[in-house]
Amino acid sequence: MEPEKRARAHIARLDLDKRQSAVLDGQAHTARALWNLLHEYFTFRQGRFASLKQCDEAIRAARHEIEWMKELPAQAAQAVLKTYRQAWANFFNPDHPAKRPTFKGRFRSRMAVDIPQARDLQIKRVNRRWGAVSLPKVGRVRFRWTKDLPGLTKDAPAGRITGARLVKDAFGWQIVFRTQTTAAVLAPAHPGPVVGIDRGITVALALSDGTTREHGPWLTGGERERLRRLEKKAARRRAPGQPASHRLIRTYAQIARLRATAKRRAVDWQHQTTTELAEVFSMVVVEDLHITNMVRSAKGTIEQPGRNVAQKAGLNRAITGEGWGRTVTLLGYKTADRGGQVIKVPAPGTSITCHRCGHRDATSRNGIRFACSNPVCAWTGHADTNAAINIRNAAGTVVSGRGDLGAARSVKRQPPRAA
């Protein structure tokens, strides 16, 4: 059986001193400036897009003429060009949701530096908790060793590290190792049962077997109160049309740390929950939700203003906080690794249809309670459980699948056919 190569990522926290952190900050700002220069050169060159060769020559010339461009390693500069070209390829791909590449702002873009070649990393394990890695123009840096990396330890899976990316968040710099492992083309069939999952807000995940997977608030009461006070403080210090003061920037950093804390807890819960589901069930059926459309603003226009704007904004925040798309993404590769699959089915009608008799009536659902309006049936129960059963029963009307080599592609994302 021929081996299959699987790409995975592993994130580890870097232990940097002030000098090393400042060097990485400078490299990240240079990478962002290079992106903006590339975008200007690529899109405004006499009305025609520049070729890859022309962009590469422009980068080499800029590194000789502009002194601060040398802060960014040459390989990282080439990675910026590769990422930029890939962004355009994704935009022109009718099956990809990517938007048109634009300029990157200083405070709204994520600071990142790419290390495309793994040979420059020289990874070594120092002790049980720490490892060491070499970063270009930074030096030897320690990182938290929380997982065995392929090709480095005996217990690690077979494979290798192909590169890394340095990313900065509210807690500092972290390294994302790009790994490539080998596995059988087809994993043994999963012996577990089939389950339908309804994603919600009141109940995070409702399963067709009658169980639920729920969580508490991502922030404690004290943390939520502190976040509220910091947001009010930032609103008072914000001056329209004026650059942000140092005090306002510090307040923004405190807000970002609290929000990053909430996200880390959410992602941790999602990882634990999806791992448990992937190990128990052989097939997971979910709705094919277009989340981007669901969280659109309801403000409308001046001529036609929206209604219930504040309520819709709160609903959008709740949906975004649950990370529905991330849950399905995690389930996708985890079930595939265990021989299972994730199936997407059409979403309309699953929450207002009785799973027992098939009667569809919007008045049957009242909050979390579902009472079938068909007098012959009159089934009552939890509304989310009823929706999950409908989702499981709709597995025959497949929209898309992952983990199954013969699963159909999404009919809503296919490019239009030529007339």
Q: What pLDDT score does 397 carry?
A: 58
**Sign of the four-CA dihedral 296, 297, 300, 302:** negative
Q: What pLDDT score does 398 carry?
A: 53
Residue the block writes with tokens 């409908």: 390
Q: Output the pTM of the full model.
A: 0.83
Q: Which of 116, 126, 135, 120 is nearest to 174 (CA)?
A: 135
The answer to whether 196 and 393 have CB atoms below 8 angstroms apart is yes
- The C-alpha atoms of residue 231 and residue 250 are separated, in whole angstroms, by 12
- The C-alpha atoms of residue 240 and residue 225 are separated, in whole angstroms, by 26
Q: What pLDDT score does 266 carry?
A: 94
Q: Which of 290, 225, 23 is nearest to 136 (CA)?
A: 23
The answer to whether 43 and 58 have CB atoms below 8 angstroms apart is no
Q: How far is CA 262 from the centre of its chain?
A: 15
Exposure class string for 127-165: b at 16+ Cβ within 10 A, else e: eeeebbbebbebeebbbebeeebbbbeeeeeebebebbb
- The C-alpha atoms of residue 130 and residue 391 are separated, in whole angstroms, by 45
Report the Cα–Cα distance between both ends of the chain, in Å, rounded.
42
Instruction: Return the axis-axis angle of helices 52-65 and 74-92, rounded to nearest 10°.
Output: 150
The DSSP 8-state label assigned to residue 10 in this structure reads E
The answer to whether 227 and 144 have CB atoms below 8 angstroms apart is no
Q: What SS3 state is found at 156?
A: coil
Q: What pLDDT score does 186 carry?
A: 57
pLDDT (tens place) for every residue of the chain, 419 residues total: 456 778 888 999 999 999 999 999 999 999 999 999 998 888 876 557 788 888 888 888 888 888 899 899 999 999 999 999 999 999 999 888 888 999 998 878 899 999 998 888 999 999 989 999 999 999 999 999 988 888 787 777 778 899 999 999 999 999 999 998 876 555 677 788 999 999 989 899 999 998 999 999 999 999 999 999 999 999 998 888 888 889 999 999 999 999 999 999 999 999 999 999 999 999 999 998 888 888 887 777 666 677 778 888 888 888 888 888 999 999 999 998 888 899 998 888 888 899 888 888 888 888 889 898 888 888 899 999 999 999 998 876 555 444 443 333 333 333 333 33
